[in-house]
Amino acid sequence: MQWIQTLSAPAGRVLISLIFVTSGFNKLVNFAGTQAYMESSGVPGMLLPLVIAVELLGGLAVILGWHTRIAAFLLAGFSLLSAVLFHANFGDQMQMIMFMKNLGLAGGFLMMVALGAGPYSLDGRREG
């Protein structure tokens, strides 16, 4: 049973962060389209470079377990903010599901804030 606990933290970090790394990369590749979408939702398009940085760098930091508590805290806040800004149309079932997905992601990141990166992380090597 110990090996399951040992592998759960790094596997969890990768699985929860992949959505941010791929989303950040997609925003980078489709910069103009993403910027237009943001502006159509009332969010200034000039914030897009910050959004891309948070998603890519935060996601990679969590995957590597580097300053995990800080990165996870930022990604939890990002998830909550994007839920409210982009997915609060509860009349649309898909948007409600996306809203709840973001809440779940925020919850997972807050668990990382509380518990740290776990084994097989740069934080663990620094602390150990």
pLDDT string in tens for the chain (128-residue length):
688 878 999 999 999 999 999 999 999 999 999 999 999 999 999 999 999 999 999 999 999 999 999 999 999 999 999 999 999 999 999 999 999 999 999 999 999 999 999 989 999 888 76
Question: How many whole angstroms separate alpha carbon 76 and alpha carbon 107?
Answer: 7
Residue-level pLDDT at 88: 94
Residue 84 domain flag: yes
Residue-level pLDDT at 125: 86
Residue 30 domain flag: yes
Residue-level pLDDT at 1: 67
Residue 119 domain flag: no
Residue 57 domain flag: yes
Residue 51 domain flag: yes
- The two counts, helices (H) then strands (E), for the chain are 6, 0
Residue 82 domain flag: yes
Question: How many whole angstroms separate alpha carbon 66 and alpha carbon 88?
Answer: 32
Torsion of CA 114, 117, 119, 122, to 10 degrees: -140
Residue-level pLDDT at 6: 86
Residue 14 domain flag: yes
Parent domain of 17? 8-114
Instruction: State the CB neighbour count (10 A cutoff) for residue 9.
Output: 20
Residue-level pLDDT at 126: 81
